[in-house]
């Protein structure tokens, strides 16, 4: 028996003008069998192939096709239509509709809703093979893919035009339905049911009410790791120092300032299946921070007595509630691998992500990273990647370790 969605999900289906529009009727019926609410938007050209009455009967919803509808537009109907859904599907996606989407045109209800939506979009192309292969169409499709639009098909085969065949047929209704269901009910990720703790960003150690000790960490790598873990189905707790980054979607964020605050937050977040300590924690703090701004006296700078901050990585890695997999970071400016190997043994963690953060590398605050993954098995040097790519690869490695039950 096909799986259904509970609670019910809503799809906005934009039906373009093409002979394959008749296939969409079957897709509507099958989606409704799966418990999906389908609201249809029919283009003017689409209405030449399937009627509003047929579409409305199958969807059991009102069909929309006029941009300047006095009943709808008093409530800015095209905006509500574009956002009151979980997914937007364009089928058939004609060359004209694809071009409008790529260029950001908004001269009818369909193109306006597609420009106004903030929901994921799947397009199902259908057109003559020559039109599909045209450089303009291919450029438009590439533009949409770069924006995150999913392209389903086209398939190869005979076309409606006599004697024409090739790549351009719309995929079959069953394939459309499966693609929609996969996006409405994502398959459980390999970290489903796991709790991952991640630290990110710098810490700030106060000197007085207006000054502090800190570093140049942006938090980009730690935040990317939290997002990657959430994408694989994990429940993620992100303990973050002060950063100028948006919170990763679906992640619980705990904001802290100092190293001591970060340690308390990490201990409170346990137990966890894995912990990734990507934060650049200040090694020292002043022994006693002033309760007022320290003023110049003309007798030289004040003496600052420094004391060591708690070692968060070692505390958790050697503690009684140690996660199964503990990953530390080693941000170095020289002898990167040697220092990382020593840190692996000293801290008691399973993996060390080592990188060169010398100013000329641009790693601290930048968008790219070049890491060495250190374990008791040896050193694995990765090529330069974006921080998102590093996060994806690292989290996949953690998921494999957890699945095998090894540290």
309 catalytically annotated: no
312 is in an annotated binding site: yes
Q: How far is CA 111 from the centre of its chain?
A: 26
Q: Indicate the angle between helix axes 173-184 and 21-33, nearest 10 degrees.
A: 50
In angstroms, the Cα distances linking 94 to 14, 164, 222 are 11, 17, 42
Tally the C-alpha atoms within 13 A of residue 84's C-alpha that lie toward its C-beta. 11
Alpha-carbon distance 122 to 106, whole Å? 18
68 is in an annotated binding site: no
186 is in an annotated binding site: no
Tally the C-alpha atoms within 13 A of residue 7's C-alpha that lie toward its C-beta. 2
293 is in an annotated binding site: yes
Alpha-carbon distance 262 to 279, whole Å? 9
329 is in an annotated binding site: yes
- Where are the strands (E) in 317-364, listed by range? 325-332, 351-356
Q: What are phi and psi of 3, to 5 degrees?
A: -70, 150
343 is in an annotated binding site: yes
Strand-pairing partners, residue 39, are 12
Decide: helix, strand or coil at residue 302: coil
Annotated catalytic residue: which of 215, 309, 355, 369? 215
64 is in an annotated binding site: no
Alpha-carbon distance 202 to 389, whole Å? 21
Q: What are phi and psi of 264, to 5 degrees?
A: -60, -40
Binding-site annotation, residues for CTP: 283, 293, 310-313, 329, 343, 347
Binding-site annotation, residues: 283, 293, 310-313, 329, 343, 347
Active site residues: 215
């Amino acid at each position: 028996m096909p799986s259904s969605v509970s609670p019910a999900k809503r799809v906005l289906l934009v039906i373009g003008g093409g002979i394959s529009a008749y296939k969409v009727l079957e897709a509507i019926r099958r989606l409704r069998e799966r418990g999906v609410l389908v609201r249809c938007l029919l283009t003017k050209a689409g209405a030449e192939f399937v009627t509003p009455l047929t579409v409305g009967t199958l969807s059991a919803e009102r069909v929309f096709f006029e941009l300047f509808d006095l009943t709808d537009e008093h409530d800015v109907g095209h905006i509500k239509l574009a956002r009151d859904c979980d997914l937007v599907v364009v089928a058939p996606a004609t060359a004209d509709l694809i071009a409008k989407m790529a260029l950001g045109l908004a001269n009818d209800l369909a193109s306006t809703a597609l420009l106004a939506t903030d929901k994921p979009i799947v397009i199902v192309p259908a057109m003559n093979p020559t039109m599909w292969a045209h450089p303009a169409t291919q450029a438009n499709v590439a533009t949409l893919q770069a924006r995150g639009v999913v392209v389903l098909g086209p398939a190869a085969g005979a076309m409606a035009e006599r004697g024409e065949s090739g790549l351009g047929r719309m995929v079959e209704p069953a394939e459309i339905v499966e693609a929609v269901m996969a996006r409405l009910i994502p398959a459980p990720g390999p970290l489903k049911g796991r709790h991952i703790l991640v630290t990110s960003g710098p810490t700030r150690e106060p000197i007085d009410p207006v000054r502090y000790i800190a570093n140049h960490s942006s938090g980009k790598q730690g935040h990317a790791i939290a997002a990657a873990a959430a994408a694989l189905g994990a429940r993620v707790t992100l303990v973050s120092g002060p950063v100028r980054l948006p919170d990763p979607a679906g992640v619980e964020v705990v904001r802290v300032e100092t190293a001591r605050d970060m340690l308390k937050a990490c201990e409170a977040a346990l137990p966890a299946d894995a912990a990734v300590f990507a934060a650049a924690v200040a090694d020292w703090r002043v022994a006693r921070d002033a309760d007022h701004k320290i003023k110049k006296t003309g007798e030289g700078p004040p003496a600052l007595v420094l004391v060591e901050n708690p070692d968060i990585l070692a505390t958790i890695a050697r503690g009684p509630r140690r996660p199964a997999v503990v990953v530390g970071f080693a941000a170095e400016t020289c002898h990167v691998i040697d220092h990382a190997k020593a840190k692996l043994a000293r801290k008691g963690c399973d993996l060390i992500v080592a990188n060169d953060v010398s100013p000329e590398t641009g790693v601290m605050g930048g968008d790219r990273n070049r890491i060495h993954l250190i374990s008791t098995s040896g050193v694995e040097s990765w090529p330069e990647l974006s921080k998102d790519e590093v996060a994806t690869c690292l989290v996949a490695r953690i998921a494999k370790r957890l699945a095998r039950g090894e540290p």
